[in-house]
A and B are shown apart, each in its own frame.
Chain A
Amino acid sequence: GNSVTQMEGPVTLSEEAFLTINCTYTATGYPSLFWYVQYPGEGLQLLLKATKADDKGSNKGFEATYRKETTSFHLEKGSVQVSDSAVYFCALSEGGYNKLIFGAGTRLAVHP
């Protein structure tokens, strides 16, 4: 079946450091890919998405490119802030009713 694999956390960075969180997927067909973020005490919020190969999703300085040849959707940000501290989830959608399959999540901690 379809699945999503994320790098294990926690990822600990200093403010203004470069961030990469790896995500790879296994899927039949051509799923849409998403990154969600969860801040403490809250539900998940959509961060960015890509719906086809070579699409680049971007939002709030974060970017991810849908790479079909490597089945990857790595999340990057050039300069992280303390406020980016959260748990990040990679996900793919399958099915006509938009079922999402999530990775295990990667906790990011950014220190001043």
Chain B
Amino acid sequence: ETGVTQTPRHLVMGMTNKKSLKCEQHLGHNAMYWYKQSAKKPLELMFVYSLEERVENNSVPSRFSPECPNSSHLFLHLHTLQPEDSALYLCASSQLRGSPLHFGNGTRLTVT
């Protein structure tokens, strides 16, 4: 039990599909993050939510749409993705100011 739960673990979707990734944290943290992990590339920070407000969007294409309805839940809505979006998507949470991030096990996304 990592304290951060991501579903689904694996997702295969066509380029015209719409799907959502879900993340839930049970640690009482007040910041949540989406990272993208692609083969042979450093982890890329996509979005940061602090106290349910989006505080960072790292030039992510609009086909990725985050949602943070409360401090325990984070979603990533996906639509009209490209094959190069295939990757491991990691959710994380933390307290603010220098505390470590706690990661979920990720969703392995394949876009066909």
Contacts and interface: CB of A to CB of B under 8 A. Distances in A.
10 contacts: A32-B98, A41-B105, A43-B4, A43-B90, A44-B101, A45-B103, A100-B101, A102-B42, A103-B42, A105-B43
Given A43-B103, A43-B106, A104-B42, A98 B98 contact: yes
Interface of B: 2, 4, 6, 31, 33, 41-43, 45, 48, 50, 55-56, 90, 92, 94-106
Interface in A39-85: 41-46, 49, 51
Interface residues of A, number: 23
A109 B53 CA distance: 41
A25 interface: no
Nearest to B55: A97
A39 to B, nearest CB: 10
Contact of A93 (B42, B98, B102): B98
Interface in A7-54: 32, 34, 36, 41-46, 49, 51
A112 interface: no
A88 interface: no
